[in-house]
Structure 1
Amino acid sequence: MAGLAIVFTTPVTATGNASPQNTAATRPPYTTQAPIVMLKDLESGEILFSRGADKRFAPASMAKVMTAYVVLDLIKRGELARDKQFTVSEATWKKWSGSNGGSTMFLRPGEKITVDSLLKGLITVSGNDAAAALAVGIDGSEAAFVKRMNAIASEIGMKSSNFGTPNGWPDGGVTKVSAADLITLADRLIRDHPGGYARYFAVPRLPHGTSPEGKPIVQSNRNPILGRFVGADGLKTGHTSEAGYCFLGSAKRDGRRLIMVVAGLPSEKARRDEAERLMSWGFGTPMPSLGVGKGKKSASGTGRAAP
């Protein structure tokens, strides 16, 4: 990951009444060692920075944003209710339980749980089990739900992405995205489902499940800048050996929203620092972060902190 990135200064044609502002010209060039970086001003439509935006890579848990979009779209169209209950099957539990299924919201076999709670588990604690339970509950199987994901991804303009699972679990290279497509997805989710975005993407912590000692399990949101960077309010992390540590994030200050993607970082700390630095640069006035804590762990000590 040698070399410095180049600032992309050509503004994108604005939509609506917003007018693009070539804000990159008013600040120092942004430099980074990350191979994939993209930053967009949602209101003006301007791409403030772009490097490796069209390179396809495995998104890991960032794929859950696509799952969330599909579910929120069904709710918006009246085809699914937030209070609809799904029953966690034995097969789903065995496949995605915390012992072998990565990050989890600690669902139990036979548990009845609402779509609302599953969405919170999907986004707040990156529950692979939550993604699977939603997929099976909606379409009968993960494979059927994935077909829906790919169809909707195409509809909203994700030109080079393909999904093989509802949660981004490694699947032999089937699931691939680009930073440009992730920016499109975040843009559409925030515009198309503002209420759902506000409801699910900034939940600071999720209590669900019980530890072997009988204590409630409380897990913190995986978002590395939520509660640390002023205005940060959502989206999703991911990590694979291929893509490194990744993050699709958004923040809003003084009515201006930025969406960013960073991928290929070597550690959680590098991901967090890069995200904060890029956002500070994008807003043009390096405001101090909230400085809350240095990391996030499961309050019970039993949660798997897979990013």
Structure 2
Amino acid sequence: MIKLGSLTYQQLKEKFRIKSPWDLIIIFVLNILITIPIFIIAHHNFITLDWAHHVDRVLLFLVILIAIQFILRAMRRVTLISVILYLIFLLFGTLSGKYNFKTVFEDYRSMMYTMSEDPYPQDIIITKLLPFPNKSKILDAVEYQNPKIRNFSIMAIDKHFKDVKGYHDYFTIIQSFAIFKEINSRWNYVSDPKGHDYIAKATESLQYLSGDCDDHSVFMAACIKSIGGTTRLIHTKGHIYPELLIGNKKDLEHINYAIKKVLFQTESKGKPINYHIDERGNIWLNLDYTAKYPGGPFMNEEILGALTLD
């Protein structure tokens, strides 16, 4: 008989054993705690089948739940040790700033909200890129290094969403939304001279916050680029508008929740988040002057080209 101090192995095992029905209750609670983060990781890495009512994700959750349940039932004699190890793991993650209790909650909250309030994807499929109109003039007009553009951007950031908490990993995107809010709430549409395509420099548009769609796109792109964001301009048959790089599917879940439940609740109430997915799987939100919130509706014109300002 193996002894540990004055206790035999059998006596030690009995001390860690939890009697019924508490062992079943603890196993169920522990199963939920383990299943949720595993499901989040699987959700972000497994291919989405786009079944109705997210049945594929429901089945994925149930498979993980049942598998974990079998494992925990097989380990029921060391359930208490499993609970302690799990709590130590999350406590270590909390102290080290990595995956922790708060992260699990935020990931799960954003994922579940996105599953119930789907963003509206539109894939960009461009078989033949056309030359972007006035490309050199537009690039020259995006004066993101001009101090006046930088100062306007900082003013907007100081004015909007400065006190928003919980989005440290997305602070540049949140600041870009502040710039979007300031520009789109003040922008006055003014047409170009008849028969001429006038491209205003960002500093020109700054003076009166006025101009047509390409002037708005240039100014928006310059301001966001001045604070480290990544934008691109989309060219359609009769329109140009800016888009903001969000990231991947997991990033979209967090940003979708932020827009609809934190930053633009009134403007986006009951409306979908519209975005494009490029050939690399990157997600871009619409920032057109016609939109009242990031990801507002597109003008639904055929896309002829894209100019990324990275």
TM-score by length of 1: 0.27
Higher helix proportion: 2
- State which structure, 1 or 2, has the greater radius of gyration over its C-alpha atoms: 2
| TM-score, length basis structure 2 | 0.27
